[in-house]
Structure 1
Amino acid sequence: MKYIHLGILFILCGCTQVEVTEEFDEQNKITVAIQFKPNESLRTTPSSDLSIMSAKVLVYNSNEILENSTSTTSGNSSAVLTLKEGHKYIYVVANASSDLTEKIKNAHFRKDLLELTSEAEDYNNGQLPSHGLLMAGEYEGFFTTNQNITVTLTAALTKIEVYVAKESNVGNIIVKKVEGKNLHTTGYLFSTDVTESKTDLAMQMPSGGPITIKTNDITGKLVGTVYSYPTIKATDLSVQLTVRHAEAQADDVYTIIPNAQNSSAEGVTLERGKCNKITITFKKDEQGTITTEEFSNVNNEFIFG
């Protein structure tokens, strides 16, 4: 019998002109040095995915009004701002697209920033944008003296990597296409809520594909990568794999639900800043039946000649 093993490792249009000014009393002026860096503990993706190409730093006072802000360019992961003493909300957004950057500049109130969602350029059809992967981080505290702080940045997106493996008694498999179905194309910078903007996308295949899985590929070969914004128990998100088995006359298409049960009823939760690895392993029995071992509640059987 041939099996697919799914191993998932979670290795109104209006314009308001607002003028915000702050007058500093020399007696209560302080300096805050802000360093920001990617969240290394969540990273299973290449380091280039989390490069900081640019950043916008915003500080809101206790009334949640913008007090000060600054921008940085590529290679600069720190900023120094002059502030008044008191309670502060500090936010850093890295690698924002030009459209999103303009919206951030107009976030004169904290609630404006928290309501922002990403733009099309930040998604780049599911692939790494040339201006870098969108990341965000925050820090809240009460400041009475000069301080140095660190803001940890987490990617606003989640990455999906699909691997295909097979046992030695299975003939060569040609992977022709890997697709993500109902991937989320927009997301919030700071809110844990999810958006409903979705699309189907062909995943990026190494060397452009197709990819042949040979006898010695028992540990799995990367066949597709794509980004999505976070999801919470999404019942319509899936991965579709199109392959041609050895000596088969037609392609076979497999639908994989990236959760532990391979079940759409369970829904798919993808967390921001994580890389989700899906490994599909083909096994064979004398009947030549393909099914999903350990997931008997899923009707996913295929016959090929």
Structure 2
Amino acid sequence: MFVGRLQVEELVSAERILMFVGRIQAEELVSAERILMFIGRIHVEDLVSAERILMFVGRIQVEELVSAESILMFVGRIQVEKFVSVERILMFVGRIQVEEFVSVERILMFVGRIQVEELVSAERILTFVGRIQVEDLVSAERILMFVERIQVGEFVSEERILMFVGRIQVEEFVSAERILMFVDRIQVEEFVSVERILMFVGRIQVEEFVSVERILMFVGRIQVEEFVSAEGILMFVGRIQGEELVSAERILMFVGRIQVEELVSAESILMFRGRIQVEELVSAERILTFIGMIQVEELMSTERILMFLGRIQVEQLVST
């Protein structure tokens, strides 16, 4: 327990407890295998490796490496120039600036702002409360919880859970196999593939592809230019604009308005509460319950039940 100031030039190794009340300046290495509780400010130039607990209350400036396998709880500001690898927990309360790599296999809870230029890979949990700016890659296999705004330049691949509360701007790819919960607005330019759950609360703008095999729950407005394929559930609460294809084999529950230019195929259930404009084909083999108005220009084939509560305008053929 150091109340005054400690200046250590080479090594500070504390295997059990390092409780520093004053300020600690270490130039080369700080290795604390069990507990590193720094209340003051810590300046470390080369390495900070804490295998179990790194609880930094003050500000930490690390130029090269910060590796904490168990817990990295940073309350102050952390500036890391090269690498930040945290396999278990990275709880950053202050601001974190990382230029090259941030790899967090288990939990990345960033409360402050995080600026990452190249890579952010979080295999288990990435809960970002502050703002995150990532230029190249953001891969989170389990949970990506972004509360503020996230700017991603190239790739965002999330296999399990993508819970975005703030705004997300993705230029090329967004793949979320399990859950994509976007609360604010999401702008995706090329691809959005969600195999399990896509829950969009805000507005989503997708230019090329949106493929959702299980659940697409869109609460806001969705604009899709080319493809929207949802094999499991397509629950659209807002408005959906799709230019080419909308295929939903199980459930298509559209609460808002849907504009589809070419094809709408729903083999199981097509429950449209809003208005649906389909230019070419609407094939529903089991149930087509249309509550709003439906305008179909070419063909409508329903083999089992066609329950239309609103008005239906069919120009060429109606085969029931």
Which TM bucket (shorter chain)? under 0.3
Name the structure with the higher strand share. 2
Name the structure with the higher helix share. 1
Tell me the TM-score normalised to structure 1 length: 0.28
Structure exhibiting the larger radius of gyration computed from Cα positions: 2
Higher relative contact order (CA 8 A, sep 6+): 1
Tell me the TM-score normalised to structure 2 length: 0.27
